């Protein structure tokens, strides 16, 4: 291997891989292995941080077997092409190489350095550092292929600032003003002496490699340091060694049956201030004269605009001028006029839109919150399982409780996502079938949840066990029916969506 790669083989990657969790009650929500065929069709590997670094070194070696350039330059070029080896090779052989190196911010290794780039050594055998303006012997000066040389102390301070304070790894440019040539990792590791800064840099390089590479994705679970490597990008579920299940394409928790683009749109809608605007639109009105937004805070419908430049008197009900109303708004003589009717219709449409959004949002949030409570249910179930084993039941015989909670969590996750799917779905005959499947699964899920929250005694054990087993099997079946119906709709273009 080239010596350029030693900086990554001989040092820690900057991350610590988390070990396997020994707790047997981990939640495995919406486990895609329940649909084994789908998982088999989508091969992937779970990598530790050391394996990620080795994968990066292997990618560099693969390119260097064909392109004979320094590994440090290969690394920068691969990063520029987001670690797509095919794109790099195509551009390297079919395009303008000078432009390629320029675009990637590296010096063309096949061009001899000009005289202007050679060190400016005085007769006294010293050089001037253009950052601190001190004079040093050539041995204390260093630089890049661009020819800009500075003292090692200035380089160390510059690189430390870029790494620690600015969080830069692959994109640290030369310290010279206006020079965009990138500093390679071998130079960084040679100049930086502080072990903490070196570790931080290695972490940034590793993180950059994963985030730039479309075939790699960090596990989004908190404190997990594993990454998933796939052969091609697809909206499929992957399972990390920490047991977290997520969609590789978008990185969100596995969200079958809703598609990535709709889920992204939904999350943005929920987080966006647009819904605050919807509430304002549904619960306030604008002054008919100056358009200032007004909220009604009393019973009287005679409104006076608070805008000092307006002070318009109008009726809250019909938005018409208050003057013709006389003393009784109940006999509002402009109630049926076109302009007032249009204003009221617009208000009703906004309220209807908000009501529809809240209908789906509240049910989405309800299942999300229930899912969190179901996580706590694992601890309670573990205690019940231990207690039941003390009543002459084997470990295998009590596993039905864990199986039931697994299926309950899967159903909650699926139901939560069905409300996102339903919100954007236009009504047709197939959507009515979907809603019936959703209703059936939701009802069965709530019943299963009730069974699991009951106290289990030696007297009712047999009855509860039978009910729980029957219900979780039914939930499992109804969940499969719902998902299969939605997937069939994707294949046959049944589904149409609202804007």
Catalytic site positions? 300
What tokens appear for 125 in the block?
């055998």
Residue 151 near residue 141, CB atoms below 8 Å:
yes
Residue 63, φ and ψ in degrees, nearest 5: -75, -40
Tell me how far apart the alpha carbons of residues 401 and 467 are, in angstroms, rounded to a whole number. 11
**342: number of Cβ within 10 Å:** 11
What is residue 237's three-state secondary structure? Answer: strand
Tell me how far apart the alpha carbons of residues 17 and 53 are, in angstroms, rounded to a whole number. 12
**293: number of Cβ within 10 Å:** 10
What is residue 286's three-state secondary structure? Answer: strand
- The CA-CA-CA angle for residues 48, 52, 58, to 5°, reads 140
Helix axes 85-94, 49-64, angle to 10 degrees: 20
- First CA to last CA distance, the chain: 54
What tokens appear for 208 in the block?
């950059």
What is residue 118's three-state secondary structure? Answer: coil
DSSP string for 2-21: -GGGHHHHSS--S--PPPPP
What is residue 217's three-state secondary structure? Answer: strand
Residue 324, φ and ψ in degrees, nearest 5: -75, -10
Stated as kind and residue range, the H or E segment containing 260 is: helix 260-271
Q: Is the peptide bond before 257 cis (omega within 30 degrees of 0)?
A: yes
């Amino acid at each position: 291997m080239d010596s350029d790669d030693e900086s990554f083989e001989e040092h820690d990657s900057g991350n610590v891989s988390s070990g396997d969790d020994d707790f047997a009650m981990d939640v495995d929500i919406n486990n895609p292995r329940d649909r084994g065929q789908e998982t088999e069709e989508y091969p992937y590997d779970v990598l530790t941080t050391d394996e990620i670094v080795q994968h990066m070194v292997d990618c560099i070696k693969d390119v260097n077997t064909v392109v004979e350039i320094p590994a440090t330059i290969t690394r920068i070029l691969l990063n520029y092409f987001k670690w797509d080896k095919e794109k790099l090779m195509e551009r390297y052989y079919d395009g303008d190489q000078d432009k390629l190196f320029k675009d990637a911010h590296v010096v063309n290794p096949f061009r001899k350095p000009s005289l202007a780039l050679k060190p400016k050594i005085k007769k006294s055998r010293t050089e001037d550092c253009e950052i601190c303006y001190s004079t040093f012997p050539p041995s204390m000066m260093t630089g890049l292929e661009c020819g800009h040389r500075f003292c090692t102390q200035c380089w160390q301070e510059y690189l430390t600032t870029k790494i620690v304070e600015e969080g830069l790894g692959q994109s640290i440019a030369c310290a010279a003003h206006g020079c965009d040539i990138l500093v390679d990792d071998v130079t960084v590791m040679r100049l930086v002496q502080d072990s903490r800064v070196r570790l931080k840099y290695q972490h940034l390089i590793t993180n950059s490699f994963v985030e730039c590479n479309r075939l790699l994705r960090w596990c989004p679970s908190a404190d997990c340091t594993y990454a998933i490597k796939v052969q091609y990008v697809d909206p499929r579920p992957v399972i990390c060694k920490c047991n977290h299940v997520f969609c590789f394409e978008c990185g969100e928790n596995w969200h079958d049956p809703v598609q990535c683009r709709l889920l992204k749109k939904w999350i943005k809608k929920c987080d966006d201030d647009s819904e605050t605007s919807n509430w304002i639109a549904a619960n306030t009105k604008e002054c008919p004269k100056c358009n200032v937004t007004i909220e009604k805070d009393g019973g009287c419908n005679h409104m006076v605009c608070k805008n000092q430049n307006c002070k318009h008197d109008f009726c809250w009900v019909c938005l018409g001028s208050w003057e013709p109303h006389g003393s009784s708004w109940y006999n509002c003589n402009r109630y049926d006029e076109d302009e007032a009717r249009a204003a009221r219709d617009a208000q009703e449409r906004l309220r209807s839109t908000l009501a529809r959004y809240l209908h789906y949002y509240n049910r989405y949030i309800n299942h999300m919150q229930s899912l969190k409570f179901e996580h706590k249910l694992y601890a309670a179930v573990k205690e019940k399982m231990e207690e039941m084993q003390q009543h002459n039941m084997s470990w295998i015989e009590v596993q039905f409780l864990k199986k039931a909670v697994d299926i309950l969590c899967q159903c909650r996750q699926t139901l939560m996502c069905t409300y996102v799917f339903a919100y954007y779905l236009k009504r047709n005959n197939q959507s009515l079938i979907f809603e019936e499947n959703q209703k059936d699964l939701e009802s069965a899920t709530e019943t299963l949840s009730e069974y699991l929250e009951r106290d289990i005694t030696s007297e009712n054990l047999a009855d509860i066990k039978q009910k729980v087993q029957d219900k979780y099997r039914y939930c499992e079946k109804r969940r499969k029916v719902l998902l299969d119906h939605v997937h069939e709709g994707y294949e046959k273009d049944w589904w149409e969506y609202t804007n």
